[in-house]
Amino acid sequence: MRCKIFIFRHAQSTDNARKIFSGWRDPALTAQGRAQARKIAKQLKKERIDVAFSSSRKRATETLRIALGGRKVPTIVDDRLIERSYGNLQGKNKERVAKQLGAAAWRRIHRGYSVVPPGGESVKMVEKRVYAFIKELERFLKAYPCNVAISCHGNSMRPLRKWYQHLSTKQEMALENPQDTDVEIDLDRLAKKASAHDCVTLAHKHIRGGTVCAKHEEKVIASFFPGKRIVRVTLPRKMKPRF
């Protein structure tokens, strides 16, 4: 069975508009950001989406809420998808920091794969936690081929695209992920044979045969993503930050 992954970066936040390092900060979307999210919703309007994933940051959860267009989709909040931590740079203006550091140092911090800002993370470190998420996602899709939406951040989207689009590290670091467009990944996955009550009810149908068994849906999904918060219907406007 073919399945699709729709990956998109959160739409414009108030920090983006002010050119501020966000990282693990939690700014809301701007009016322009909400308009960008509606553009993603139009792109996904005719697509089936069975399960969704997001980090806990408001800019990601709100983008996902708008992009789903009112659809009731089981959603897992997983902070392995959270933005790169910029440490001591968080909350500071990017243009001022670039001017203070100089062009060479700015490039190393902004686009260096292994460079760690003081108190923060490198993209390599982000990649490690995103790859752990992908490993669980791959297990899930092999058992339950379905369509997935992922609302994430600029630097957590890089490793996702690197993995699924088979990019080099250099290509990964050169990516510019737009805030109003999804990236579609088309996969071919085969479900293993179902046993009694071994099914999951998703938006379009149960995936693995037998009787549709809605009461097992959350249990089945959670078994692939242990310890992650599942929001069964749709994302609330406000969620308790994990960080």
- On the question of pLDDT at 191 being above 60, the answer is no
Q: Which of 127, 79, 84 is nearest to 229 (CA)?
A: 79
Crossing angle for the helix pair 217-224 and 123-143, to the nearest 10 degrees: 140
Catalytic choice (10, 62, 206, 217): 10
Does residue 183 belong to any structural domain of this protein? yes
Look up the domain containing 42 and give its range. 2-231
Residue 238 belongs to some domain of the structure: no
Residue 239 in any domain: the answer is no
Instruction: Give pLDDT, residue 206.
Output: 47
Active site residue 176: no
Q: What phi-psi label fits residue 116: left (phi over 0), alpha (psi between -120 and 50 degrees) or beta?
A: beta
Active site residue 10: yes
Q: Is the pLDDT of residue 238 over 60?
A: no
Q: What is the pTM of this model?
A: 0.87
Among 66-80, 87-101, 193-207, whose mean pLDDT is lowest?
A: 193-207
Residue 26 domain-assigned (yes or no): yes
Q: Is 237 part of a structural domain of the chain?
A: no
Instruction: Spot the catalytic one: 83, 121, 127, 172.
Output: 83
Q: Is residue 120 part of a domain?
A: yes
Report yes or no on 243 lying in a domain: no
CATH of the domain at 90: 3.40.50.1240
**pLDDT score at 112:** 92
Q: Is residue 242 part of a domain?
A: no
pLDDT in tens, 39-85: 999 999 999 998 999 999 999 999 999 999 998 888 999 999 999 99
Domain count, the chain: 1
Q: Distance between CA atoms of 236 and 26, rounded to whole angstroms?
A: 15
